[in-house]
Amino acid sequence: MREITYKQAIQEALREEMRRDERVFLLGEDIGVYGGAFGVTLGFLEEFGKARVRDTPISELGIVGAAAGAALMGMRPVVEIMFIDFSTLALDQLANQAAKMRFMFGGKARVPMVLRAPQGAGTGAAAQHSQSLEALFVHFPGLKVAMPSTPADAKGLLKAAIRDDNPVVFIEHKLLYNRKGPVPDGEHLVPLGRAEIKRPGRDLTLIAISNMVIKALEAAEILAAEGIEIEIVDPRTLVPLDEATVLDSVRRTGRVLIAHEACRTGGVGAEILARIVEEGFDYLDAPIRRLAGRDFPIPYSKVLERQVIPQVEDIVREARRLLGRAGGGKRNDQ
Q: Catalytic positions, please?
A: 60, 129
Helices in the chain by DSSP H: which ranges? 6-20, 44-48, 60-72, 91, 101-104, 134-138, 151-163, 212-224, 243-253, 268-280, 302-308, 312-322
Question: Could you count the other beta carbons within 10 Å of the beta carbon of residue 107?
Answer: 9
Give the 3-state secondary structure of 63-94.
HHHHHHHHHHCCCEEEEECCCHHHHHHHHHHH
> In whole angstroms, what is the distance from residue 73 CA to residue 225 CA?
56
How would DSSP label each residue in 106-132? TTS-----EEEEEE-SSSS--TTS---
> In whole angstroms, what is the distance from residue 91 CA to residue 192 CA?
22
Q: Report residue 115: phi and psi, to 5°.
A: -110, 110
CB-based contact 116:89 (threshold 8 Å): no
For 23, counting Cβ atoms within 10 Å of its Cβ (0-12 exposed, 13-18 middle, 19+ buried), the class is middle
What's the count of helices (H) and strands (E) in the chain, helices before strands?
12, 14
Direct distance between the N- and C-terminal alpha carbons of the chain, in angstroms, rounded to an integer:
42
ω into 299 cis (within 30 of 0): no
> In whole angstroms, what is the distance from residue 26 CA to residue 197 CA?
32
In which region does residue 149 sit, left (phi positive, over 0), alpha (psi from -120 to 50) or beta (all else)? alpha
> In whole angstroms, what is the distance from residue 155 CA to residue 188 CA?
7
